Amino acid sequence: MERMIIINIKRKIISFVCAAMMAVSPFAVSDSLYDISLTAEAASASLVNPKLSVSYSFGNKLELQIDNLSSFSGNTNFRVYIDGSYAKTYALSTLKKSNQINLIGNAKTYFKPSQAHRIKVVAARDGKLASSPVITGKTDSATYYNIYEGAVLYKLGSQGMYRTGRVSSYQIAPAVLCSTWGKPSAGDSIKTNNAGCALITGGKYKGYYLKVCSTMGRTSARKYKVKTVVDYAASMDGGRYVWGGASYRATDCSGLTMQAYAQVGMDITHSVYIQAQKGRAVSMNDIQPGDLIICRNYGHVAMYIGNNQIVHAMSTYYGIRIQPLNNIYYCSPINSIRRIL
Catalytic residues: 253, 300, 312
Q: Which helix (H) or strand (E) holds 174?
A: strand 171-178
Cβ pair 116, 137 in contact under 8 A: yes
Cβ pair 211, 196 in contact under 8 A: yes
Rounded Cα distance between 259 and 143, Å, is 24
Pairing of strands 240-241, 250-251: parallel
> Which strands, in side-by-side order, build the sheet including 292-295?
280-281, 334-339, 292-295, 300-306, 309-315, 319-324
Pairing of strands 246-247, 250-251: antiparallel
> C-alpha 245: how far from its chain's center?
39
Rounded Cα distance between 37 and 123, Å, is 23
Rounded Cα distance between 132 and 121, Å, is 5
